[in-house]
């Protein structure tokens, strides 16, 4: 049985349980699901829209190679070569949020497209390995290039058996993101794209765009925390004017719960010696 036949079989099984599949001519308006981070949800209102595209940019680090000269840009300036890795822990957390807020009787599938965003299987289980819903309802699609990735997202978002699609959006242009956004809105699935931070200035039709960076470890934090922490900045949210409230938050990895929200003011206090004792008390 080919992959296309398997997908059609899954769609037929889902339609039998939940009713008829979504009509190709109808538009399914997605509701919102909470991110699980109270401060972020307070700024967004109810959370992230289910039938929309959300982009997450990060994380990057320079390539250190001895004896090699730095690269030069078109304007003649020197630049440091960088590699990037997506914030997999964050998108895994959001995939759980989508799964746990589903109202259908049958759990929908989560589709991971592009090897760069494939999480370790251990990250997809909870409760000491007893809760395996996300792992058992995940489908992994390996792609060769951005065009393959876009084609796979197109098929996945059209399927009524899919609740969330997480994909490597590296080198997506405006037309590609517009296509994904329209499909997510039409069929009600949540689309999450991970992209390198240097594509921040690329035009995108995503409803929200986020920049994820590792939280700096300055002189005010002489002892590095056991769990990694990131700062998450909301770059854009359609329909929400920025600048009227907090737009940057701190997240810390919790072994049992995944990324947990930390009070927003702590982002600016990370390197403040006076705030070190308070930060340790709040974080644990």
- CATH, residue 88: 3.40.50.300
Share of the chain above pLDDT 70, in %: 71
pTM over 0.85: no
Q: In 10 A of CB 52, how many CB atoms?
A: 23
Domain membership of residue 14 (yes or no) is: no
Position 11 scores a pLDDT of: 55
Position 186 scores a pLDDT of: 96
Domain membership of residue 185 (yes or no) is: yes
Whole-angstrom Cα distance, residue 19 to residue 239?
Answer: 33
> Quick one: which of 42, 83, 48 has its CA closest to 65?
83
Who wins on pLDDT, 266 or 32? 32
Segment holding 49, helix H or strand E: strand 48-49
Q: Is the pLDDT of residue 13 over 60?
A: no
Domain membership of residue 13 (yes or no) is: no
Q: Is the pLDDT of residue 127 over 80?
A: yes
Whole-angstrom Cα distance, residue 115 to residue 117?
Answer: 5
What is the overall mean pLDDT for the chain?
Answer: 79
Q: Which domain holds residue 138?
A: 25-62+82-283
| Token representation of residue 87 | 């914030």
Sign of dihedral through CA atoms 109, 115, 118, 122?
positive
> Quick one: which of 205, 233, 117, 212 has its CA closest to 164?
117
Who wins on pLDDT, 57 or 129? 57
Strongest mean pLDDT among 100-109, 117-126, 236-245 = 117-126
Position 271 scores a pLDDT of: 38
Residue recorded with tokens 């960088």? 82
Residue 102 pLDDT level (bands cut at 50, 70, 90):
confident
Q: What is the mean pLDDT of residues 53-61?
A: 92
Position 31 scores a pLDDT of: 86
Position 1 scores a pLDDT of: 66
Residue 217 pLDDT level (bands cut at 50, 70, 90):
low
Q: How many domains does the chain have?
A: 1
Domain membership of residue 6 (yes or no) is: no
Domain membership of residue 19 (yes or no) is: no
Whole-angstrom Cα distance, residue 189 to residue 30?
Answer: 7
Position 60 scores a pLDDT of: 85
> Quick one: which of 233, 229, 247, 210 has its CA closest to 284?
229
Do the beta carbons of residue 71 and residue 97 sit within 8 Å? no
| φ, ψ for residue 72, nearest 5 deg | -120, 140
Q: Is the pLDDT of residue 75 over 60?
A: no
Terminal-to-terminal C-alpha distance of the chain: 51
> Quick one: which of 237, 283, 233, 246 has its CA closest to 87?
233
Domain membership of residue 255 (yes or no) is: yes
Share of the chain above pLDDT 90, in %: 53
Q: What is the mean pLDDT of residues 240-253?
A: 84
Position 273 scores a pLDDT of: 39
| Token representation of residue 282 | 């709040």
Position 35 scores a pLDDT of: 94
Output the DSSP codes for 136-160.
HTEEEE--SSHHHHHHHHHHHHH-T
Domain membership of residue 2 (yes or no) is: no
Domain membership of residue 12 (yes or no) is: no
Position 223 scores a pLDDT of: 52
Whole-angstrom Cα distance, residue 101 to residue 98?
Answer: 5
Output the DSSP codes for 215-277.
PP--TT--S--SS-EEEEEEEEETT--TTSS--EEEEEEETTTEEEEE-GGGGTTTT-GGGHH
Position 155 scores a pLDDT of: 97
């Amino acid at each position: 049985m080919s992959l296309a036949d398997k997908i059609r079989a899954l769609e037929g099984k889902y339609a039998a349980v939940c009713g008829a599949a979504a009509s190709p001519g109808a538009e399914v308006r997605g509701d919102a699901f909470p991110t699980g981070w109270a401060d972020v949800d307070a700024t967004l209102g109810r959370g992230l829209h289910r039938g929309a595209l959300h982009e997450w940019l990060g994380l990057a680090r320079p390539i250190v190679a001895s004896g090699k000269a730095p690269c030069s840009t078109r304007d003649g300036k020197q630049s440091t070569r960088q590699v990037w890795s997506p914030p997999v822990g964050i998108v895994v957390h959001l995939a759980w949020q989508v799964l746990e807020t589903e109202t259908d009787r049958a759990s929908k599938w989560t589709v991971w497209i592009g090897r760069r965003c494939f999480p370790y299987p251990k990250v997809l289980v909870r409760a000491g390995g007893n809760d395996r819903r996300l792992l058992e309802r995940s489908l992994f699609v390996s792609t060769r290039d951005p065009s393959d990735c876009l084609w796979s997202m197109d098929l996945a978002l059209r399927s009524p058996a899919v609740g969330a699609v997480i994909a490597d959006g590296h080198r997506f242009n405006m037309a590609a993101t517009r296509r994904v956004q329209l499909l997510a809105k039409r069929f009600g699935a949540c689309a999450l794209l991970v992209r390198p931070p240097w594509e921040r200035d690329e035009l995108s039709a995503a409803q929200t765009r986020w920049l994820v960076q590792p939280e700096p470890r300055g002189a005010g934090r002489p002892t590095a925390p056991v769990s990694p922490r990131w700062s998450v900045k909301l770059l854009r949210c359609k329909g929400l004017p920025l600048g009227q409230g907090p737009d940057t938050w701190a997240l810390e990895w919790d072994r049992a719960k995944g990324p947990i929200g930390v009070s927003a003011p702590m982002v600016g206090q990370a390197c403040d010696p006076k705030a070190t004792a308070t930060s340790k008390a709040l974080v644990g």
